[in-house]
Structures are given as structure tokens and as C-alpha cells.
Structure 1
Amino acid sequence: MARRPHDPVWLSEEEQRPRRPRLSRERIVAAAVGLLDAEGVEGVSMRRLAARLDAGTMSLYEYVASKEDLLDLALDAALAELDPVEAGEPWRAALTRHLSQSRHVMRRHPWITALVGTRPLLGPNALARSESVHAAVAGAGFTGAGLAAAVGALSSYVHGFVTTENMWRARMRDAAGEGDLRRRTRAHLADRAELYPVLARHARPEDADFDAGFTAGLEIVLDGIEARLGRP
């Protein structure tokens, strides 16, 4: 409807209609992170993302060249939630805090573990955090191949633990059902103690405390790294 002369602005349909904000790379990437959280990597397409933004699919390509570029940008944006290791902090305490936070970020965005191994992490947020971790391990006394191996061991532990944790939690959504399965597993091992004596004696299938398990495992990895210090 055309606006009549002297109509108050508040009665103008044209003025009252909210304007759709222009697209930007930042807005597109934020929407991509939300879509990944909801649908996972397999559920992401430029068409679905455009629908989420109430935009035309082709308009996204003015800001992002391809889906792969979009995934790179979304991954680096999610890694920005992770604080870099602070310089000057004791190396074990710094790495424990940083890697524990890494676990929580990867729990919040389960798709991170699916993407990390499929592309070089060269975004500014990824590089800043990698630099800080390498600096902490270097500060402990590692150089060269030993430094790379120590960082790789820490990274592999965290990613492997969280991948398993995410998959388990995605499947076992019923606490009562999970508890029953764990008790039955314990009984199954006890009944076969002659075949699997170490598992029957030491395995703890009834233990569902991922937090304690992560901390204990990380301590073992850090102990191993610390034991290497001073060796040729």
C-alpha cells in the first residue's frame, strides 16, 4: 500500500515491516555453527544454511566460495571458544586446564572431532591455540621431534576420548538403561573370569564417570611426557 501524504510514520505498513539484515560472512558462519550443532556435518548443505538464514542459496556464494570453505570457517569460529594457554603458567597446570576446556568445547560442538582430522588447521584461532600449546610443551623442555610427539600424544588423547564419549552419549540417552547395561557387562565378565582374568578383576564397566576418567587418563599421559624430560 502506498503511503499517503501526512500519514504518521507509525501507521505506515512499509515502515513497520522489519527489514531483513544484510548477509555477512560472520552471520553466515555463525548460522553454520548452529546448523552443525543441530544436524552434524552430514546435515550441512548450502541450501539448508540458506533456509536457516532466510536467504537465497546463491547469495551465500558472494561470501563463501564453497561448502568446504564454510566448514573451515565454522571450525575456526568454534575453536575461538577455547582460551589459549597463558604464557608463564606452569606447564602441567596450563595444559590440564587447556585440554579440559578443549573437551568441553568438543562436547558442546560434537562435529569438531569429525572435522579436525580432515583438514589442516590453519585458521587464525586454530593457529593461535596450537602455538600456545606448543609453547607450553617447549617450556617444559621439549624441542624438535620430541616436542611434536608430545603435542601429538596430548591431542590424540583428547580427541580420542571425546570422540568415544560423544558417540556413547549420543547412543545411551537413558540413564537407567545405561546403568543396567553396565551391570550386565560386569556380570558377564565375572562369569567368564577364567577366560578374561584381568578384565574380570580390573575392568570397571559400571563406572560411568567420564569426568574422572578423562582427568585420570590425562594425568597418565602427562606423567609419561614428564618422564621423558632429560632423556636423549
Structure 2
Amino acid sequence: MDTPYGSAPLPVWERPEPQPRAAPVPLSRAKIAAAAMRLADADGLDALSIRKIAKELGVGPMRLYDYVTNRSELLDLMVDAVYARIAEAELPAGWRATVLALVHRTREVALDHEWFADLLGGRPHLGPHALAVGEATAAALDRAPGIRDVDELQRALSALNAFLAGSLRREITERRTARSTGTDVARWQSANGPYLRRMLATGRYPTVARLVVEGAHLSPEETFRHNLEIVLDGIT
């Protein structure tokens, strides 16, 4: 297929949908992505395959290749479907309120689709909904005090995205670990408490002891909210 960029094929978002076929099960890229997301929500990305998605949809695997040429394109569609949910966030006035709304919405949706965090920080997300969220975030940050040029805007976006990816991965990893081991936080603390008290009593770890004894024990949501405010304060 000839394109304005030479012989490179069009990305999956710009290719037209295949012509409808006289088949018992109608397909579309949106329907395929939705089925893939249900499977990934249940069993993670490692369990995802074209064959399993086809079975979920009640079609033969080869039909799916009319819509996506490989697993990478499938992941692109899934990721952009997540961004479509993020883009639904109601954006208030003011640069800071806008950024807060978008980032908190991203966390909310990522906790619904934990596999999304596994795909953050790799190759850029370039689907139309991802670009819309990126535009809204960048435009808001561009209005922040202290952002004077495109280099400072780029650094601010990098800091915000690094915080978001790191925070989501940590929170989701902890949730997965708790599920896989059947251990909640209170039980883990009870099991490890005696050992930790013995180690802190040696006096070799005074700063860690202060953090454990005097530090605030916030929920994941409170921690996320507090640290996000610190990042935005640093940007300004």
C-alpha cells in the first residue's frame, strides 16, 4: 500500500476496516480489542494470544489477521482503548487541576486494567486517544508557572511520566503479589515485625527506624496523591 511516507504500511489506526463479510460473527478492530482486554484483565498479557481471542469471539484465528497483522498491533489497539477511557475525564479549569484530573484518571483506569502498567515506558503510544491525552497534558503543563520554553516543557513531561509509570507499576506489583501469595499487608507486617524490630534495635539503621516508627502510613491512593503534588510543586 503506497503511503505519503513511501512503502511503509499505514499504522493500524489509519488502515480502513476490512469490508464486512457474510459470516455468523461480525468483527471490528474495536470488538477484537475489547475481547483481548477481557482476556488480559483476567490472565495478564502473557496469556494473550490470537488463538485465544478468536475462541473468545467464536471465529477462526485467521479472520483476526484481516484486522491486525501481529500481536504488536493488537497491543496498540488495547492501549489506545485504555486511553479512550482516560480521555473521558472531565477537565476543570486551570493547568494544575487539569493535570491532576488526567493523572488520577489514568491511575483509576490502570487499576482496572493492570496490564496497562506493563506497557508504560516502552515505545511511545501514538494512537489517536493516546495523542489526545498527551496533548491535553502537555497543553496544561505548558501553562504552568516556570515553564518558559519547549525544553522545560519536555523535562516537565518526562518527570511527570516517570512518576506515573513508576507509581503505577509499584502499586500494581504489590497488588499482584498480595493476590498470588494470599498475603494482605497486615498479615505481612505481623509476620515480619519481630525481625524488623530486632534489626532496628541494633541502632545501625537510625533513619530507617525513624521512617518505620514516626512516618505516616498512607494508603496507596493517599501516597499517590501526595507524591503527585510534590512532583507538580517541583515542576513549578
TM range (shorter): 0.7 to 0.9
In structure 2, the partner of 1:73 is 77
Which amino acid in 2 is paired with 1:149? R
The 3-state SS of whatever aligns with 1:116 is coil
1:203 to 209, 212, 219: 212
Identity, in percent, stands at: 35
CA shift for structure 1 position 182: 2.1
The RMSD of aligned alpha carbons is 2.4
TM-score (norm 2): 0.80
* Alpha carbons 1:150, 1:225 under 8 Å: kept: yes
Which amino acid in 1 is paired with 2:198? D
In structure 2, the partner of 1:82 is 86
Unaligned runs of 5+ in 2: 1-22
In structure 2, the partner of 1:158 is 164
CA shift for structure 1 position 208: 5.9
Q: Residue 224 in 1 paired to residue 211 in 2?
A: no
Which amino acid in 2 is paired with 1:207? H
CA shift for structure 1 position 134: 0.5
39 and 87 in structure 1: CA distance in 2 versus 1, 3 angstrom threshold: closer
The 3-state SS of whatever aligns with 1:140 is coil
> How far apart are the structure 1 equivalents of 2:152 and 2:221?
28
CA shift for structure 1 position 175: 8.3
Larger Rg computed on CA atoms? 1
Work out the number of aligned pairs and report it.
208
Per-residue CA deviation, residues 89-119 of structure 1 (Å, 9 max, x unaligned), is 2122221121111111111111111122332
CA shift for structure 1 position 20: 3.3
CA shift for structure 1 position 85: 7.2
> How far apart are the structure 1 equivalents of 2:188 and 2:222?
20
For 1:23-172, list aligned pairs within 5 A: 23-83=27-87, 89-141=93-145, 142=147, 143-172=149-178
Q: Residue 181 in 1 paired to residue 188 in 2?
A: yes
> How far apart are the structure 1 equivalents of 2:216 and 2:204?
20
* Alpha carbons 1:86, 1:132 under 8 Å: kept: no
TM-score (norm 1): 0.81
In structure 2, the partner of 1:9 is none
CA shift for structure 1 position 88: 7.1
Which amino acid in 2 is paired with 1:198? T
* Alpha carbons 1:85, 1:129 under 8 Å: kept: no
* Alpha carbons 1:182, 1:206 under 8 Å: kept: no
> How far apart are the structure 2 equivalents of 1:87 and 1:209?
25
> How far apart are the structure 2 equivalents of 1:118 and 1:176?
30
Of residues 146-155 and 80-89 in structure 1, the stretch that sits farther from structure 2 once superposed is 80-89
Which amino acid in 2 is paired with 1:171? T
Per-residue CA deviation, residues 60-87 of structure 1 (Å, 9 max, x unaligned), is 1111111111111111011100037777
Unaligned runs of 5+ in 1: 1-18, 227-232
